Amino acid sequence: MASVPLSDLRARIAALEGRARGAAVSTSAPAGESAAETVPAPGASSGMPRFDASVLERLYPQGARPEGTVHDLVCAHHRDTGALTGFAAALIARMGADAGPVVWVTDAVTAGETGGLYGPGLAAFGIDPARLLLVTAKSPAEALWAMEEALSVPHLAAIVGEIGGAPRVLDLTATRRLALRAERRGTPVLLLRPAGPDTASAARVRLTLAPRPSGPDPHGLAVLGRPGFSIRLTRNRGGPTGAVDLEVRPHDHGFVPRPAHPLPVAAEAGDRPARPGAAEIVALRTAS
């Protein structure tokens, strides 16, 4: 019952922000090529579509840059940074090889906790390591400075900033500065926050990530499956929020929804594009 006035409010906010009601979830500017693969938001008529993997597909379209703003990617522990790195890498890979160079800033804490980016691993993930410019900052303040400098450069595919823990310099003001510059420049900033707190941030989009164990192997072997993630979208201005478990297909970086209950047929779904119809059948787990 309470969701009706809430969705009305959201629609009004979207209208105030100059978005069309139907396009409220599609925050990416070039909707053309990516929209062909994804279907219109289900339930667009009610003003508030339900949440599933297709929301993420529209936030991070294939072959295009996501919205030029700050995207918070948070994980609970430093030991989960692998998942954080992997999802950020998947987002970059989804933009396509022609999206431009990527500036990847790492602060000393994160580098010490999880090591440095590894070229062969990135290549295996579908990212040409030569596209990356790596910056190692001695302090969070230095990392923020480097990110702001990078925001003065046009034509970047994305700027990734890894700042571990909850440093005081990374407050609301700092993220607002970043967000303003990112929006002016139109460059997406992926702010990776290992062991990051749930503090105030000016990010328009906030994802909390955790690794997701592999699903059952079709051949019954205890082998590693596709990289899997448990994702909670806790902030998505103008769009729905929610939680979803998904895997990333290695060859095209497609998001494959993972069923909450492992079914033998689940692996077959990977060969088809994620259709909302299919998503309904496999009953996505939606956390609060």
Task: Map residues 24-63 to x or -, x wherever contact with another protein holds by CB under 8 A.
Answer: ----------------------------------------
Residues touching another protein: how many (CB under 8 A)?
A: 67
Rounded Cα–Cα distance for residues 261 and 284 (Å) = 9
Regarding 148 and contact with another protein (CB under 8 A), the answer is no
- CA-based nearest residue to 252, from 125, 137, 165: 125
Nearer to another protein, 133 or 282 (CB): 133
In the complex, minimum distance from the CB of residue 125 to another protein, in angstroms, rounded to a whole number = 5
Nearer to another protein, 55 or 151 (CB): 151
- Residue of 87, 175, 190, 202 interacting with another protein (CB under 8 A): 87
Nearer to another protein, 204 or 258 (CB): 258
- Residue of 146, 190, 231, 284 interacting with another protein (CB under 8 A): 146
Regarding 86 and contact with another protein (CB under 8 A), the answer is yes
- CA-based nearest residue to 259, from 278, 276, 284, 239: 284
Rounded Cα–Cα distance for residues 47 and 206 (Å) = 21
Regarding 262 and contact with another protein (CB under 8 A), the answer is no
Rounded Cα–Cα distance for residues 55 and 18 (Å) = 20
Task: Map residues 214-253 to x or -, x wherever contact with another protein holds by CB under 8 A.
Answer: x----x-xxxxxxxx-x-----------------xxxx--
In the complex, minimum distance from the CB of residue 95 to another protein, in angstroms, rounded to a whole number = 14
The pair of structure tokens assigned to 141 is 């303040």
- State the angle between helix axes of 172-185 and 140-150 in degrees (0 to 180), rounded to the nearest 10: 20
Contacts of 273 (CB under 8 A, 6+ apart): 37, 254
Q: Which of residues 150-169 bind another protein (CB under 8 A)?
A: 150, 152-156
Span of 6-14, 131-139, 200-208, 279-287 interacting with another protein by CB under 8 A:
131-139
Task: Map residues 202-221 to x or -, x wherever contact with another protein holds by CB under 8 A.
Answer: --------xxxxx----x-x
Estimate to the nearest angstrom the gap between the alpha carbon of 268 and the chain centroid: 24
Regarding 141 and contact with another protein (CB under 8 A), the answer is no
Estimate to the nearest angstrom the gap between the alpha carbon of 148 and the chain centroid: 21
Rounded Cα–Cα distance for residues 259 and 276 (Å) = 13
Regarding 144 and contact with another protein (CB under 8 A), the answer is no
Surface-to-core class of residue 63, CB atoms within 10 Å of its CB (0-12 exposed, 13-18 middle, 19+ buried): middle
| Burial letters 175-199, b for 16+ CB under 10 A, else e | bebbbebbeebebbbbbbbbbbeee
Backbone angles phi, psi at 248, to 5 degrees: -110, 120
Residues that bind another protein (CB under 8 A): 79-83, 85-87, 89-90, 100-101, 103, 114-126, 128-130, 132-138, 142, 145-146, 149-150, 152-156, 210-214, 219, 221-228, 230, 248-251, 270-271
